[in-house]
Amino acid sequence: MKSKALFFSCVFLFLAGYCQAQVAYGAKDTIKVATTNYNGEIIPWVVIGEVTVVDRRTFKSQEDYDKYRRLRYNVLKVLPYARFAGQRYRQLERDLALTNDKRKQKQLIKSCDKEIKDLFNDKIKNLTISQGEILIKLVDRETGNSSYQLVKDLKGNVSAFVVQSVAKIFGHDLRNKYDVDQEMDIEGIIHSAGYYTYQ
Protein backbone atom coordinates (compact mmCIF):
# COMPACT_ATOMS: atom_id res chain seq x y z
CA MET A 1 0.00 0.00 0.00
CA LYS A 2 2.86 2.35 0.86
CA SER A 3 4.55 1.53 -2.42
CA LYS A 4 1.40 2.45 -4.38
CA ALA A 5 1.12 5.77 -2.56
CA LEU A 6 4.83 6.42 -3.16
CA PHE A 7 4.42 5.51 -6.84
CA PHE A 8 1.43 7.84 -7.32
CA SER A 9 3.22 10.63 -5.46
CA CYS A 10 6.23 10.28 -7.76
CA VAL A 11 3.99 10.25 -10.85
CA PHE A 12 2.13 13.31 -9.57
CA LEU A 13 5.38 15.23 -8.86
CA PHE A 14 6.76 14.22 -12.27
CA LEU A 15 3.59 15.43 -14.04
CA ALA A 16 3.57 18.67 -12.03
CA GLY A 17 7.21 19.35 -13.03
CA TYR A 18 6.44 18.45 -16.65
CA CYS A 19 3.46 20.85 -16.70
CA GLN A 20 5.61 23.68 -15.30
CA ALA A 21 8.25 22.97 -17.94
CA GLN A 22 5.60 23.47 -20.64
CA VAL A 23 5.03 27.11 -19.54
CA ALA A 24 8.27 28.23 -21.20
CA TYR A 25 7.94 31.45 -23.18
CA GLY A 26 8.76 31.36 -26.86
CA ALA A 27 8.91 33.78 -29.76
CA LYS A 28 5.16 33.61 -30.31
CA ASP A 29 4.36 34.13 -26.63
CA THR A 30 5.88 37.61 -26.59
CA ILE A 31 3.77 40.73 -27.00
CA LYS A 32 5.75 43.70 -28.24
CA VAL A 33 4.69 47.04 -26.80
CA ALA A 34 6.18 50.51 -26.80
CA THR A 35 8.07 51.51 -23.68
CA THR A 36 9.19 54.68 -22.00
CA ASN A 37 12.27 55.05 -19.84
CA TYR A 38 11.16 57.03 -16.81
CA ASN A 39 13.92 57.66 -14.23
CA GLY A 40 15.69 54.46 -15.18
CA GLU A 41 12.54 52.35 -15.02
CA ILE A 42 11.17 50.85 -18.24
CA ILE A 43 7.41 51.41 -18.37
CA PRO A 44 5.34 49.72 -21.11
CA TRP A 45 2.43 51.60 -22.65
CA VAL A 46 -0.33 50.70 -25.06
CA VAL A 47 -2.39 53.15 -27.13
CA ILE A 48 -6.12 52.58 -26.76
CA GLY A 49 -8.99 54.14 -28.66
CA GLU A 50 -10.71 57.28 -27.52
CA VAL A 51 -13.37 56.72 -24.90
CA THR A 52 -16.32 59.10 -24.73
CA VAL A 53 -18.19 59.31 -21.46
CA VAL A 54 -21.71 60.61 -21.84
CA ASP A 55 -24.08 61.36 -19.01
CA ARG A 56 -27.60 60.03 -19.23
CA ARG A 57 -29.88 62.81 -20.33
CA THR A 58 -32.93 63.68 -18.26
CA PHE A 59 -35.96 65.58 -19.49
CA LYS A 60 -38.28 67.91 -17.61
CA SER A 61 -41.41 66.43 -19.14
CA GLN A 62 -42.68 63.78 -21.48
CA GLU A 63 -43.29 66.52 -24.05
CA ASP A 64 -39.59 67.50 -23.99
CA TYR A 65 -38.63 63.85 -24.38
CA ASP A 66 -40.98 63.40 -27.36
CA LYS A 67 -39.63 66.59 -28.96
CA TYR A 68 -36.07 65.31 -28.57
CA ARG A 69 -37.00 61.92 -30.07
CA ARG A 70 -38.57 63.65 -33.09
CA LEU A 71 -35.44 65.76 -33.52
CA ARG A 72 -33.24 62.65 -33.27
CA TYR A 73 -35.35 60.84 -35.87
CA ASN A 74 -35.19 63.82 -38.25
CA VAL A 75 -31.43 64.33 -37.82
CA LEU A 76 -30.64 60.68 -38.43
CA LYS A 77 -32.94 60.64 -41.46
CA VAL A 78 -31.25 63.58 -43.25
CA LEU A 79 -27.68 63.05 -42.01
CA PRO A 80 -26.72 60.62 -44.84
CA TYR A 81 -27.86 63.15 -47.44
CA ALA A 82 -25.82 65.93 -45.85
CA ARG A 83 -22.75 63.75 -45.51
CA PHE A 84 -22.98 62.67 -49.15
CA ALA A 85 -23.46 66.28 -50.25
CA GLY A 86 -20.39 67.31 -48.24
CA GLN A 87 -18.23 64.54 -49.70
CA ARG A 88 -19.44 65.27 -53.23
CA TYR A 89 -18.87 69.01 -52.81
CA ARG A 90 -15.29 68.45 -51.59
CA GLN A 91 -14.69 66.12 -54.55
CA LEU A 92 -16.08 68.75 -56.92
CA GLU A 93 -13.81 71.41 -55.40
CA ARG A 94 -10.79 69.16 -56.00
CA ASP A 95 -11.87 68.46 -59.59
CA LEU A 96 -12.46 72.16 -60.30
CA ALA A 97 -9.05 73.06 -58.89
CA LEU A 98 -7.38 70.71 -61.38
CA THR A 99 -8.72 72.47 -64.48
CA ASN A 100 -8.81 76.06 -65.69
CA ASP A 101 -11.02 75.29 -68.66
CA LYS A 102 -14.40 77.02 -68.04
CA ARG A 103 -16.24 74.57 -70.27
CA LYS A 104 -14.83 71.58 -68.39
CA GLN A 105 -15.73 73.23 -65.06
CA LYS A 106 -19.34 73.71 -66.21
CA GLN A 107 -19.49 70.05 -67.24
CA LEU A 108 -18.17 68.98 -63.83
CA ILE A 109 -20.75 71.12 -62.04
CA LYS A 110 -23.55 69.85 -64.26
CA SER A 111 -22.59 66.20 -63.73
CA CYS A 112 -22.36 66.73 -59.95
CA ASP A 113 -25.77 68.42 -59.94
CA LYS A 114 -27.29 65.58 -62.00
CA GLU A 115 -25.73 62.91 -59.77
CA ILE A 116 -27.14 64.48 -56.60
CA LYS A 117 -30.57 65.00 -58.19
CA ASP A 118 -30.71 61.43 -59.49
CA LEU A 119 -29.80 59.96 -56.13
CA PHE A 120 -31.91 62.08 -53.82
CA ASN A 121 -34.55 63.97 -55.78
CA ASP A 122 -37.48 61.73 -54.81
CA LYS A 123 -36.33 61.30 -51.23
CA ILE A 124 -35.63 64.97 -50.60
CA LYS A 125 -38.98 66.00 -52.10
CA ASN A 126 -40.71 63.86 -49.47
CA LEU A 127 -38.95 65.48 -46.50
CA THR A 128 -41.00 67.41 -44.00
CA ILE A 129 -40.37 71.12 -43.46
CA SER A 130 -38.49 70.50 -40.21
CA GLN A 131 -36.36 67.80 -41.88
CA GLY A 132 -35.57 70.25 -44.69
CA GLU A 133 -34.49 72.85 -42.16
CA ILE A 134 -32.21 70.34 -40.44
CA LEU A 135 -30.80 69.28 -43.81
CA ILE A 136 -29.90 72.91 -44.59
CA LYS A 137 -28.05 73.16 -41.27
CA LEU A 138 -26.24 69.86 -41.74
CA VAL A 139 -25.14 70.74 -45.28
CA ASP A 140 -23.56 73.88 -43.84
CA ARG A 141 -21.97 71.75 -41.10
CA GLU A 142 -20.50 69.34 -43.65
CA THR A 143 -19.29 71.86 -46.24
CA GLY A 144 -18.49 74.94 -44.17
CA ASN A 145 -20.66 77.05 -46.52
CA SER A 146 -24.31 77.99 -46.24
CA SER A 147 -26.65 76.39 -48.75
CA TYR A 148 -27.16 79.81 -50.36
CA GLN A 149 -23.42 80.21 -50.88
CA LEU A 150 -23.17 76.72 -52.39
CA VAL A 151 -25.92 77.41 -54.92
CA LYS A 152 -24.41 80.81 -55.69
CA ASP A 153 -20.94 79.33 -56.27
CA LEU A 154 -22.18 76.47 -58.41
CA LYS A 155 -25.20 77.88 -60.26
CA GLY A 156 -24.83 81.67 -60.05
CA ASN A 157 -26.63 84.60 -58.42
CA VAL A 158 -29.95 84.18 -60.23
CA SER A 159 -30.33 80.51 -59.26
CA ALA A 160 -29.35 81.30 -55.67
CA PHE A 161 -31.98 84.06 -55.54
CA VAL A 162 -34.70 81.76 -56.94
CA VAL A 163 -33.86 78.90 -54.56
CA GLN A 164 -33.70 81.31 -51.60
CA SER A 165 -37.13 82.73 -52.56
CA VAL A 166 -38.66 79.24 -52.68
CA ALA A 167 -37.07 78.38 -49.33
CA LYS A 168 -38.49 81.56 -47.79
CA ILE A 169 -42.00 80.43 -48.79
CA PHE A 170 -41.51 77.37 -46.58
CA GLY A 171 -40.02 79.42 -43.75
CA HIS A 172 -36.34 78.61 -44.34
CA ASP A 173 -33.36 80.86 -44.85
CA LEU A 174 -30.57 79.28 -46.87
CA ARG A 175 -28.13 81.91 -45.58
CA ASN A 176 -28.29 80.56 -42.02
CA LYS A 177 -24.97 79.23 -40.75
CA TYR A 178 -24.58 76.18 -38.54
CA ASP A 179 -23.60 77.23 -35.02
CA VAL A 180 -22.38 74.38 -32.81
CA ASP A 181 -23.25 76.27 -29.62
CA GLN A 182 -26.84 76.94 -30.69
CA GLU A 183 -27.36 73.45 -32.11
CA MET A 184 -26.11 71.45 -29.13
CA ASP A 185 -28.94 68.91 -29.40
CA ILE A 186 -28.21 68.22 -33.07
CA GLU A 187 -24.48 68.03 -32.39
CA GLY A 188 -25.08 65.60 -29.51
CA ILE A 189 -27.27 63.39 -31.68
CA ILE A 190 -24.62 63.32 -34.41
CA HIS A 191 -21.90 62.40 -31.91
CA SER A 192 -24.05 59.69 -30.32
CA ALA A 193 -24.56 58.23 -33.81
CA GLY A 194 -20.78 57.97 -34.25
CA TYR A 195 -20.14 60.91 -36.59
CA TYR A 196 -17.50 63.16 -35.09
CA THR A 197 -15.75 64.95 -37.93
CA TYR A 198 -17.00 67.61 -40.23
CA GLN A 199 -15.46 69.81 -42.92
pLDDT given at position 199 = 45
Using a 10 angstrom Cβ sphere, with 0-12 exposed, 13-18 middle and 19 or more buried, the burial of residue 18 is exposed
pLDDT band at residue 168 using 50, 70 and 90 as cut-offs: confident
Averaged pLDDT of the chain: 78
Query: What pLDDT score does 198 carry?
Result: 47
pTM above 0.85, yes or no: no
List pLDDT tens digits, range 47-105: 888 777 777 788 899 999 999 999 999 999 999 888 888 888 888 888 888 888 888 88
Q: CA 197 to CA 177: how far, in whole Å?
A: 17
Q: For residue 2, name the pLDDT band (cuts at 50, 70, 90).
A: low
pLDDT tens digit string along 108-135? Answer: 888 877 777 777 777 777 888 788 888 8
Instruction: Give residue 107's pLDDT.
Output: 84
Question: Residue 21's pLDDT is what?
Answer: 45
Q: Which pLDDT value is given to residue 96?
A: 81
Domain boundaries, the chain: 62-192
DSSP secondary-structure letter at 145? S
Give the SS3 label for residue 127: coil
96: which residues sit within 8 A by CB, 6+ positions away?
105, 108, 109
* pLDDT at 13 (0 to 100): 58
